[in-house]
């Protein structure tokens, strides 16, 4: 194991973050995925940090009945989680040492909003919602998104890295090589999809993107159809992992369209992974990506390229962490 790899591994273990299996024991008793179950209402989120996010989303849904409030408030928990190195301003920065954020939100009626490459905003998901609700546009990026945030009264936050992010950035700078390490550096984006009691759907997705990415790089998370897609007629899907590979297959849109054609959420996620692998076969051993989907009947599914992906599920029976199946 290279020094950098072992450094990352040690750092992440010591912060009880995320090694496949490690998380699971630390946070909950995972169950194996079972297909064919149906729940309504149902909230699903990527990774183990989806557990507290789902709890919050469920609470909001039960109190207000508003599904968009639920998916926004739910992922805001993760945006503030100081242990999370892939979401929010405490996430790992780009190569220049600057944290830049991507987020999207979508309703099943086709309304959607997103922000990309935005700086100094604590809750990019709320800014994405404002793009959806208060502009004629779908996506604002970079300085324009930041100016919109200022105009809407969002406080501008400091860009000083969190101690953990600073330590990892300084370590990365020693070699300045970009090679994603699956399930570690690029782990942790939260994508949430929710089915309300009335059969309507909504979703949200928020991330600081790939660690040590090029300045200006935008991933799949703010791209409607890649990191998130929701359609009340069919279902919803979200993605996590190496965004470039997800964008190439329009992953979330693909899954919703496959469900429209009759596939179950599980079958649709598996087909998306098959296509992703087909388009990235040369270096697939270094690529992790995972998909999570629900259909309008409350059936759900998940699938990843490699083991290690899990997701949080919340229904009237409570919250559970579930291990996803994977291709390899
Ligand atoms: C990205 N998809 O920016 C995000 C990263 C991610 O879990 O999902 N991390 O490519």
Q: Is 238 in the pocket of ligand 1 (CB under 6 A)?
A: no
**DSSP SS3 for 4:** helix
Domain boundaries, the chain: 38-326
Distance in angstroms (rounded) separating the CA atoms of residues 325 and 317? 23
Model confidence at 181, pLDDT cuts 50, 70, 90, reads low
Determine the atom of ligand 1 nearest the C-alpha atom of 213: 3
Which positions are annotated as active-site residues? Answer: 189
- The class level of CATH for 38-326 reads alpha beta
Chain segment 51-88, per-residue pLDDT in tens: 999 999 999 999 999 999 999 999 999 999 988 899 99
| Averaged pLDDT score across all residues of the chain | 88
3-state secondary structure of 182: coil
CA of 186 relative to ligand 1 center, distance in Å: 6
Q: With cut-offs at 50, 70 and 90, classify the pLDDT of residue 3.
A: very low
Does residue 26 have a pLDDT over 80? Answer: no
Residue 242 assigned ligand-binding role: yes
pLDDT (mean) for 15-29: 32
Of 243, 246, 286, the residue with max ligand 1 atoms within 8 A of its CB, to mutate for a pocket test, comes to 243
Stretch 239-249: mean pLDDT:
96
Look at residue 19 and tell me whether its pLDDT is greater than 70. no
The model's pLDDT over 104-153, given as tens digits with 9 standing for 90+, comes to 999 999 999 999 999 999 999 999 999 999 999 999 999 999 999 999 99
Residues of the chain with pLDDT > 70, as a percent, come to 86
Cβ–Cβ under 8 Å, residues 252 and 282: no
Q: Is the shortest distance between the CB of 49 and ligand 1 below 6 Å?
A: no
Q: Does the pLDDT value for residue 7 go beyond 70?
A: no
List, in sequence order, the alpha helices (H) in 135-213: 142-151, 163-173
Q: What confidence tier does 2 reach under pLDDT thresholds 50, 70, 90?
A: very low
Q: Strand (E) positions, the chain?
A: 31-32, 42-46, 101-107, 112-118, 139-141, 190-195, 201-207, 228-231, 235-241, 289-295, 300-304, 310-315, 318-323, 325-326
How many whole angstroms from 102 Cα to the centroid of ligand 1? 9
Nearest CA to ligand 1 atom 3: 209
Cβ of residue 207 lying under 6 Å from some atom of ligand 1: yes
Q: How confident is the model at residue 188 (pLDDT cuts 50, 70, 90)?
A: confident
Q: Was 119 annotated as part of a binding site?
A: no
């Amino acid at each position: 194991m290279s020094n950098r790899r072992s450094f990352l591994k040690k750092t992440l273990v010591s912060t009880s973050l995320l090694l496949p299996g490690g998380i699971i024991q630390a946070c909950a008793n995972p169950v194996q995925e079972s297909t064919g179950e149906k729940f309504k209402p149902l909230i699903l989120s990527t990774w183990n940090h989806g557990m507290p996010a789902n709890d919050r989303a469920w609470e909001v849904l039960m109190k207000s009945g508003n599904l968009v409030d639920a998916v926004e408030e739910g992922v805001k928990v993760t945006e503030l989680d100081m242990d999370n190195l892939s979401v929010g301003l405490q996430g790992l920065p780009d190569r220049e040492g600057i944290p830049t954020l991507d987020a999207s939100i979508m309703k099943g009626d086709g309304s959607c909003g997103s922000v990309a490459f935005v700086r100094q905003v604590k809750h990019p998901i709320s800014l994405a919602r404002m793009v959806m609700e208060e502009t004629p546009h779908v996506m604002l990026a970079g300085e324009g998104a930041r100016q919109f945030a200022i105009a809407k009264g969002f406080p501008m936050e400091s860009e000083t890295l969190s101690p953990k992010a600073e330590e990892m950035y300084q370590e990365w700078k020693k070699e300045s090589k970009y090679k994603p390490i699956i399930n570690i550096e690029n782990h942790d984006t939260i994508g949430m999809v929710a089915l309300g009691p009335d059969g309507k759907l909504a979703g949200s997705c928020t991330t600081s993107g790939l660690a040590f990415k090029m300045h200006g790089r935008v991933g799949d998370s703010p791209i409607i159809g890649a990191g998130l897609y929701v359609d009340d007629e069919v279902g919803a899907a979200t993605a996590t992992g190496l965004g470039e590979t997800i964008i190439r297959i329009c992953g979330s849109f693909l899954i919703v369209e496959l469900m429209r054609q009759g596939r179950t959420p599980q079958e649709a996620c598996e087909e998306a992974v098959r296509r992703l692998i087909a388009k990235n076969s040369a270096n697939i051993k270094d690529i992790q990506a995972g998909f999570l989907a629900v259909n309008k009947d409350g059936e759900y599914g998940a699938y990843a390229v490699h083991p290690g992906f899990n997701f949080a599920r919340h229904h009237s029976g409570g919250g559970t962490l579930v291990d996803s199946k994977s291709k390899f």
